Structure 1
């Protein structure tokens, strides 16, 4: 049933214009990712989009009428994290998100996927597809993949149908797949199927579109028969050449840049990306003068809370994980604050479109707390005491073990006399492993007990191409690897093409996580592994840590500092905000002196921190705090070393441009 008056939206092939309700139409929109912005902040961000002048322009007898316009992906894995487990409430309430936009008078271009990129884990596809079939060719007509997509779309698309503009809702156009021309599968059977599935649920009147790079190379496999083709490019590109590429593959219709980049992606260990405001404004001006429609990607930054962030491949094919922040150097920051770029973009838009009246957004006030001292509660070995491991001859992947993200402890005993030197090799490591050895010291007197002590031996790292390490190890020693999934690749030819096999013998693909190959010491194979899953759902299991922290605070659980030396563990603190009547306010968690891990506030996973930079702070929206006098519970999972005084602090200033190893 319609939620408003039914509208019409088409393309006039003679005048090369969008036609909305019988009138010529063009738009300037901004991308907003609801899965990177908590639901309580959707309205705030949408109002700021409106005030930026992101307007649709239509001519009614020379009078100008406008509404605001934005663009959004839908992330499959956000809504179906495990097969058949669906989330559509709270932060996952996509219909409320669209309804909020509709109530504000916003129009929307919606990108349903199933693949979206957006620098998200596996490009927004659910990890469990690879649990069902590790050889699955994602983003193709592989029947095992398509059947899962069809199930998802059979649930999603009927929910969205009432929100279409042609049904009285705010959704003007719907994108099929995402930059498919950048993927070398070039499977037209697949994209034609997606087109037909959308038509089946939405009807033939809905305007479908695609987005691809601004060159023939991208468009030749990205263009779908019967679907309007648009392009994407950033500041400094040649707009005449770019739109000529669009026209070569899309013979009629308006010029459209569906992703005009306002900044760029950040990766761990790499310098912060910035794009100058003048450069963004200059190319924007040229496009508007060219009579193009466009989408600012994004207008507002966001945050890949929890384990949401994905990873990319560098120019040399190296693995580079994305940071937690999705600030993107956008006109509105990660915390929704306007930058000079916001006002510069607005000024250019004002040359071509009427700007709305109203108060321009200002930076939201921020708060700072006193340093918060964290108490050690449990290390990983305390946790696994109560766990029954999963055993197998050879190491299993996260996907085989049905673990979406986080960490798995792999443990084995050395059943042979190791070579000297004993060199451990884990070629198929995805992505990082801290290595611990339980060296068995044989005493001179047989009556004395053997002394067992786990010691940190070093770290293997995919980002640093470190897959081997020398060990002080012997027959009978215990070898443990705490393996971290740092995010699945989200872009490029990494979704099931044969040339991306890690190991042609076992056909394990590049996007599997954990240990995806055999493990050796010298020439000898390590067998008989135990897998400790730690937590399958990190946020829910924070309650487990809080339970132990309560025991700790009542002094029933003695903690030895030595038990945490280089051994990953959980730290806890309870604190109360000041009685300032304005608190809580937005803030940023800073962990100076800590190294790498995760932070949880009142059970909410704020995401990954890592002092290699460029990001040193974690954005913490005000709604996550309890106001005075109610206590707040903070948990930090630290992999390596804490600050000397074990303190952290919420501060007013975000730091996303720290020096990195590769500056």
Structure 2
């Protein structure tokens, strides 16, 4: 079922309301694509099997020699250092602490409590600015921070763990507590978040036999358990009952829009309970439609069910549905993702939502005495190659996310709050909090650098030996995916010689490209004193468009070298094709035939 839309007119005589502007989005085509994605998200994606490869055809590559060059193009994740994080010398309150649910209400230390939170992801903000952004959250009137924990950030390789610098989760938790705020921790293992592979580490795609992600596949659960054996003990000291800031821990993420494997969800809940104990509130988040809540919640298990829904929906109807999936008296109304803006894909205009409309939607939630988490409070940046992508009903319906995660949030990507949305939301929140929030820090310094002039220094092909992990390449009879050769992100180059039957005008096609392939041919050119290699760009093959090129008609083809440079534009973080290896694999047919 879909919840009814709001009436065209609101009762403005009700205290605490502001006029609604009926046009929320101003995105053009990108709005319709995003709306479609939201509808698919709320309606679910079908079977929920991890390797969603329906419709693909297994084709074998002709046995031609392939040279694969793997680029050391930098880590998937940024590495930043900061000496400004808090030390262990924090004055913790040693009195008894409790955070629990009773009578459809959150209680903090025995008193009713309303969560006014916002998503602020530590991995999308330079640690140097963590405190600044958190102070702006307090200035907005918030009392809690919600953040995901990306598995791939902290375990980029099976034997490599990372909790330093920008991955310093414990440092972030200490800082939130230092500022007197609470934490809602979303530990996955899948997080979506417009983040590469939904937070899954890329090396999961190289495990054989193939894993069935987000299911009770024993091999998949074994790897999740091993990761959580590292993560969960780190969280224990920061639980609220242990004098820390963490009041709630979310398992999975909107699982009801993907699958219906209850035993998988029960396994995750049991694993967390075994380490974190019985006092911590575990929760799930799903879209406020019956199918999603039926599949994604753990009704009857003691795991609290929260909901999210578009800003145009009636919150009272959403919260009434939420109540059906929680035990009696255990359903305080919580919108755990109140959308302050929206994501942006490459080729779209930056998402913009109307500040007054957004503020009015927030007011309708707070008027019901509900709790709320702003998604996003501060979006930040997908540093390096960390942005993900979305897919629709077809593998070609591929929408990669941009580097910016500004989200049109009230705190802008650069930390700016001198915008109408921050002021509008602050005005609404101010009507529901007893104490005036503190003043924010000064606005960050901004500078216009003006036009930049770029100068070509070298061709990629002339520096391969310096940027490849192995300059000699990997020699194989069939191409392999990025993940199978331990390449996390960036680019991979496939090189072979054109077959003897190739000639000018021959057609080149690849059955599947993940995600964009630049095709080149090259050969030796003799000069007066030297012989050099010249590269000719044949064209581009893209996952979502053309899959055919033709060799130029004005070159002598025999003996030429064929180079296919494949770009990973971000592994799928949301959609039915989440099992998304990059590059080209042995089942992807390269054909060169006469036109």
TM-score (norm 1): 0.70
The aligned counterpart of 2:42 is: none
Offset at 1:283?
1.1
1:459 is aligned to: 540
Is 1:126–2:201 an aligned residue pair?
yes
Name the structure 2 match of 1:23: 111
Distance in 1 of aligned mates of 2:359 and 2:188: 29
> Are 1:10 and 2:79 counterparts?
no
Q: In structure 1, how many angstroms separate the alpha carbons of the residues matched to 2:317 and 2:393?
A: 25
Aligned mates of 1:355, 1:272 — CA distance in 2: 35
RMSD: 2.4
Is 1:484 aligned with 2:563? no
1:527-542 to 2 correspondences below 5 Å: none
Say if 2:139 is the partner of 1:69: no
| Residue in 1 that maps onto 2:507 | 423
Counterpart position of 1:257: 335
CA distance in 1, matches of 2:93, 2:209: 45
User: Shift of the alpha carbon at 1:279?
Assistant: 1.2
The aligned counterpart of 1:518 is 588
SS in structure 2 of the partner of residue 270 of structure 1: coil
The answer on whether the counterparts of 2:503 and 2:551 sit within 8 Å (CA) in structure 1 is: no
Q: 1:420 to 1:453 in 2, by over 3 A?
A: closer
- Could you tell me how far 1:76 is from its partner in structure 2? 1.0
**In the aligned structure 1, how far is the partner of 2:188 from the partner of 2:538?**
43
* Contact 2:138/2:438 (8 A) holds in 1: no
Task: Report the Cα distance in structure 2 between the residues aligned to 1:454 and 1:134, rounded to whole angstroms.
Answer: 39
Superposed CA deviations along residues 293-345 of structure 1, whole A, max 9, x for unmatched, are 11000111210010010001247650010000000011110111112111111
1:394 is aligned to 2:482: no
The count of aligned residue pairs is 489
1:102 matches 2:177: yes
Residue equivalent to 1:212: 286
Q: Which of 169, 172, 188 in structure 1 is aligned with 2:262?
A: 188
Cα distance per residue 1:514-554 (max 9 Å; x no partner) = 01343433459xxxxxxxxxxxxxxxxxxxxxxxxxxxxxx
Measured against aligned partners, the alpha-carbon deviations of 1:383-414 in whole angstroms (never above 9, x if no partner) come to: 22461110111111001111000001111101
User: Matches of 1:436 and 1:254 in 2, distance apart?
Assistant: 60
Whether contact under 8 Å (2:494, 2:563) holds in the other structure is: yes
Check whether the contact 2:135–2:440 (CA below 8 A) recurs between aligned residues: no
Structure 2 CA distance, aligned partners of 1:451 and 1:44? Answer: 54
Counterparts of 1:247-396 in structure 2 under 5 Å? 247-252=323-328, 253-314=331-392, 318-338=397-417, 339-360=419-440, 363-369=443-449, 373-385=453-465, 387-396=471-480
Distance 1:355 1:466 in 2: 59
Q: Which stretch shifts more, 295-304 or 421-430?
A: 421-430
Q: Secondary structure at the match of 2:274?
A: helix
Of 166, 171, 190 in structure 2, the residue corresponding to residue 91 of structure 1 is: 166
> Tell me, which stretches of 5 or more residues in structure 1 are unaligned?
55-67, 496-509, 525-663
1:201 corresponds to which residue? 275
Deviation at residue 359 of structure 1 after TM alignment: 2.4
Q: Does 1:404 align with 2:404?
A: no
Q: Hey, what does 2:14 align to over in structure 1?
A: none
Cα contact 1:301–1:336 (8 A) shared by 2: no
Q: Name the CA distance, whole Å, in 2 between partners of 1:193 and 1:310.
A: 27
Q: Does 1:145 align with 2:232?
A: no
- Encode CA deviations 1:193-218: one digit per residue, 9 max, x unaligned: 11011111111111100000010121
User: Aligned residue for 1:493?
Assistant: 576
Q: Is the 8 A contact 2:99 2:247 kept in 1?
A: yes
Per-residue deviation at 1:369? 3.9
Is this contact kept in 2: 1:117–1:123, CA < 8 A? yes
Q: Structure 1 residue 188: deviation in Å?
A: 1.4
Contact 1:35 1:91 (8 Å CA) reproduced: yes
Q: 1:26 to 1:456 in 2, by over 3 A?
A: same
Tell me the equivalent position of 1:637: none
Deviations 1:260-281 (A, max 9, x none): 0000000001222211111111
Name the CA distance, whole Å, in 2 between partners of 1:35 and 1:451. 45
- Deviation of 1:431 after TM superposition, in Å, equals 0.4
On the 8 A contact 2:140/2:437 being kept in 1, the answer is: no
Tell me the residue number matched to 2:69: none
Partners of 2:369 and 2:220 in 1: how far apart? Answer: 40
Cα offset, 1:449, TM superposition: 11
Aligned partners of 2:290, 2:492: CA distance in 1, in Å? 44
Structure with the largest fraction of strand: 1
Q: Deviations over 1:119-146 (max 9, x none)?
A: 0000011001112237211111212211
User: In structure 1, what is the Cα distance between the partners aligned to 2:562 and 2:256?
Assistant: 45
Question: Residues of 2 paired with 1:300 and 1:385: CA distance?
Answer: 40
Instruction: Report the CA distance between 1:74 and its aligned residue.
Output: 0.8
Output the CA distance in 2 between the equivalents of 1:154 and 1:451: 55
C-alpha displacement at 1:378, in angstroms? 3.5
TM superposition shift of 1:371? 5.3
Deviation at 1:291, TM superposition (A): 1.3
CA displacement 1:39-75 (0-9 Å, x = unmatched):
1110001000001011xxxxxxxxxxxxx21111111
Q: How many angstroms apart in 1 are the aligned matches of 2:154 and 2:444?
A: 30
Name the SS for the 2:414 alignment partner: coil
- Larger relative contact order (Cα-Cα within 8 Å, sequence gap ≥ 6): 2
